[in-house]
Amino acid sequence: MPQSRRSFISKAALAAAIAPLSTFGQQYEKSIDQTPKASPPSNLKITDVKCGYIRGSLFVKIYTNQDIWGCGEGVDAIPGTYHLVKNFGERIKGKSPLNVHRLFEDIRKSGFFQGAQSGMYVAVLSAIETALWDLAGKALQLPVYQLLGGKFRDKVRVYCDTALYQRNLPTPKDFADAAQAAKKMGFNAIKFDLDQANDPNKYDFYNWTASPAELQRMYDQLAAAREAVGPTIDICADMHGRYDAVTAQAVAKKMESLNLMWLEEPVPAENVDAYKLITASTSTPICAGENHYLAYGFRKMLEIGAVDIVMPDLQKCGGLGEGQRIANLANLYYVPFAPHMVASFLGAMASAHVCASVPNFMILEWQSYFHTQPMFKEIIHYDGEWVNNSFITVSDKPGIGVEINEAGMKKYAIPGIPFFE
Ligand SMILES: [Mg+2]
């Protein structure tokens, strides 16, 4: 162990301050000495930032001068961003990774004219910011939730996305079977998709006003799921922002008797005034947020009561610190926080640290692909149980607690993009 943390507190000042308080001071000094440290943080510097692209995810690794590194993930708004990652890396090289908020703000503010308000800029920033938390946690030997202020809960509740979108025109029976299968696996909350682009009941493929037969199809599917699992399992439904306001109101009204946990993104994300009208028209809770960025993107939505529940994607909306800010902002309006999550288990656990750290956490998304696609086990290292009866146990290891496996990841890397080079 090269140097204790006292070195950067200033030994002389500390000694002077505690000299008259001999017993108390000694205990204080001892407790500082006994605090585990991986390195003298004052000397820790970022040396490089590298990345790899798999499926819909960007994995970022931040290296330092002390053989510790941090990993983060960005999703969805990441295609074509390799040079953006390298560019952000240049901006933070030589700096201490422990000032996470400051580095986040340096990158965000220096990109004011480069699109730093949303989209790919913020998704890449999310991956970098998350890697900084992982790195800071490893340097200080603390789990990320502790750096975020501690935890309200040890376990984070998740809902299972049933992934019926992989099936062509799923029937009500498919919905019922998927609901029962998820319940059997121990999940007490499940999600379905209601938007079907190739629904033969559509009259027009550009106008997304649902036809009466399409509305009935949606109802029959969710009613079959409700019938299959009974009244005590939470069911939510996603429309992926693909409909118009009149359809949103019709669907929300029609589903009221099914007691949904929420109806998600019935219309596109941009017009929160339209959301307000939809939310005011129904007792079905309305949820949005995975296509909103930064706490700024949630400000008006919350101020005008546009939604009942916010669901930022922490791998896309700005990262873990920004996710916590969004949760705290929502809490001022008594609005629960239910993050979207389409990442690897690294992203799931990173999100879980934030979910543990805020009072108004409701539920986090969990993907059934973790159970069906071997790739997800191959691209990370984690020795604990991933999920148990709808709950993730938040890792107590330093940092996020999940490591990426570059060797396992390489065969899935998107061709033509440098892989951790
Ligand atoms: Mg969604």
Give residue 38's pLDDT: 54
Select from 2.30.110.10, 1.25.40.10, 3.40.50.300, 3.20.20.120 the CATH code of 147-403.
3.20.20.120
Distance from the alpha carbon of residue 240 to the mean position of ligand 1, in angstroms: 5
Distance from the alpha carbon of residue 151 to the mean position of ligand 1, in angstroms: 26
On whether the CB atoms of residues 179 and 228 are closer than 8 A, the answer is yes
Q: What are phi and psi of 69, to 5 degrees?
A: -140, 170
Residue 322 contacts by C-beta under 8 Å, 6 or more apart in sequence?
104, 126, 129, 294, 295, 314
Distance from the alpha carbon of residue 178 to the mean position of ligand 1, in angstroms: 18
Question: Which of 257, 300, 256, 249 is CA-nearest to residue 278?
Answer: 249
On whether the CB atoms of residues 179 and 233 are closer than 8 A, the answer is yes
3-state SS class at 134: helix
Distance from the alpha carbon of residue 264 to the mean position of ligand 1, in angstroms: 6
Distance from the alpha carbon of residue 204 to the mean position of ligand 1, in angstroms: 23
On whether the CB atoms of residues 224 and 258 are closer than 8 A, the answer is no
So where are the chain's domains? 46-141, 147-403
On whether the CB atoms of residues 156 and 354 are closer than 8 A, the answer is no
Question: Which of 209, 193, 317 is CA-nearest to residue 263?
Answer: 193
State the DSSP code for 37.
-
- Torsion over CA: 37, 42, 47, 53 (sign): positive
Distance from the alpha carbon of residue 261 to the mean position of ligand 1, in angstroms: 14
Give residue 30's pLDDT: 62
Give residue 3's pLDDT: 41
* Residues of the chain predicted below pLDDT 50: 1-22
Distance from the alpha carbon of residue 402 to the mean position of ligand 1, in angstroms: 25
Let me know the angle formed at the C-alpha of 346 by 319 and 101, rounded to the nearest 5 degrees: 25
Give residue 176's pLDDT: 97
Select from 1.10.10.60, 3.40.50.2300, 3.30.390.10, 2.40.50.140 the CATH code of 46-141.
3.30.390.10
Q: What is the pTM of this model?
A: 0.90
Give residue 20's pLDDT: 47
On whether the CB atoms of residues 157 and 189 are closer than 8 A, the answer is yes
Distance from the alpha carbon of residue 308 to the mean position of ligand 1, in angstroms: 15
Give residue 208's pLDDT: 86
Distance from the alpha carbon of residue 89 to the mean position of ligand 1, in angstroms: 30
